[in-house]
A = this chain, B = another copy of it.
Amino acid sequence: MTQELVIYNTLNRKKEVFQPLHAPHVGMYVCGPTVYGDPHLGHARPAITFDLLFRYLQHIGYKVRYVRNITDVGHLESDGDEGEDKIGKKARLEELEPMEVVQFYTNSYHRAMDSLNVLRPSIEPSASGHVMEQIEMTQEILDKGFAYESNGSVYFDVETYNKAHNYGILSRRDIDDLLETTRELDGQDEKRRSADFALWKKATPEHIMRWKSPWSVGFPGWHIECSVMSTRYLGDQFDIHGGGLDLLFPHHECEIAQNTAVNGKPSVTYWMHNNMITVNGTKMGKSLGNFINLEEFFDGSHRLLDKAYEPMIIRFFILQSHYRSIVDFSVEALHAAETALKRLLDASNNIASIPVSDASTVEVKSLRQKCYDAMNDDLNTPIVLSHLFEATRIINSGIAGIEKLSQHDLDELTDLFKIFLHDLLGIQDSVALKDSSYEAFEKAVNMLLEMRQEAKRNKDWATSDKIRDDLTKAGFVIKDTPTGFEWSLA
């Protein structure tokens, strides 16, 4: 590969050189959404984080098989073994077949991710499409002695597993503490210990989503789906498993236990976790009223927002922080992101207007490798952006005539934005109407501004002012420059 990538491995709590098992192939699995509600910021962050990694791995020469699942069964309200199925509950409330709920929210998740320019994964399997394999894996874990059946349900036996392996290897929870505080439940419960978790649950009569199994008519536990779908499409051993930090325990810890129980060793080399998003310093929560859906950002309809924010502003806002830092959302921070993004895009669009000099008076060449170095350092996007802002200062100095730039350096600046801002950070120019009608309209606006220039030359200030004022009222920003004019949409 052309670049040596270092990534932070949550498993070992340190940065490690990325070495895939079967270079140039990379297998990567990321936990996708539970499709029972509108996609929100909490969905955007992991999707954008691992989209960045997917893009970068391919950019530096890997062939990546990226699997991201759709959870459409087994995720209970408690995020544990109790409560109603999240999708089943929504279906009951809306009087729909659960799969109608799944389809509806899968479609809206896809629409939102497309808006955010998140690339589709190579394979997007759904949990309900792999119940058969989940039953098989549960049987294998039973056969190995790391699970027990109880009243038609099957539970993973954490204590027995921990005697042979290490439960807590990822979360670094102290298993003795865990078992101590969750002593045996004296038969009050189907589970022997509360640390145990369901691999298969017998369905109650009102539970709609149900399949036949050797133990009962029921449904798979939440954790087993990811163990099954990752290894089915990436093999028993694969490179990267990603997800939000909120999934580290118990979900990912349980995944490791399940795969290790069957294979005798863990499946994943690198575990990667993106950090959380807070809203004005507070955790997001439906009950807190600060749960902003992506559609609400895009149309500005949430009460915490002052206006609509284009998807690219949300994407940029998230990438301004390193993926392992908390992102705190506020209207002020969004405004700042909008301004900063506009500054970068304007600079990138105005490179062509810089006069070409024989030699540059400023150093440009080193920026590219500096950006790569930042990407190689665990995808350090804020540092990448700081280099792009350095490039922006150079471009603006070139436009103002303060610095001179050679054709070679102008091309280098063009490349820099193309590679890092557009291809890797995935930022599209916000006016993405660059089709033939857009070009026609562009020409019409230019015609008006040339008529204004002409009026100015004729000292016909009334006409010149009228054109500027009418265009401003229509929604354009008009700027006079030493060489003529620039315009943009407000």
Contact = CB atoms under 8 A, between A and B. Distances in A.
A233 B99 contact: yes
A470 interface: yes
A23 interface: no
A184 interface: no
A476 interface: yes
A250 to B, nearest CB: 26
Contact of A132 (B97, B131, B438, B445): B131
B123 A126 contact: no
A123 B107 contact: no
B437 A445 contact: no
Interface in A405-452: 431, 433, 436-441, 443-445, 447-448, 451
A56 B131 CA distance: 36
A107 B121 CA distance: 10
A459 B245 CA distance: 72
A471 B443 CA distance: 8
A476 B131 CA distance: 57
A126 B131 CA distance: 13
B475 A440 contact: yes
Contacts of A97: 65, 122-123, 233
A370 interface: no
A254 to B, nearest CB: 23
A256 B211 CA distance: 24
Contact of A103 (B121, B470, B471, B474): B121
Nearest to A128: B129
Contacts of A431: 437
Contact of A65 (B100, B130, B233, B448): B100
Interface of A: 65, 97, 99-100, 102-104, 107, 110, 120-126, 128-132, 136, 211-212, 233, 431, 433, 436-441, 443-445, 447-448, 451, 467, 470-471, 473-476, 489-490
Top-10 shortest CB links A-B: A129-B129, A440-B475, A443-B474, A441-B441, A132-B132, A99-B123, A100-B122, A440-B474, A444-B445, A103-B123
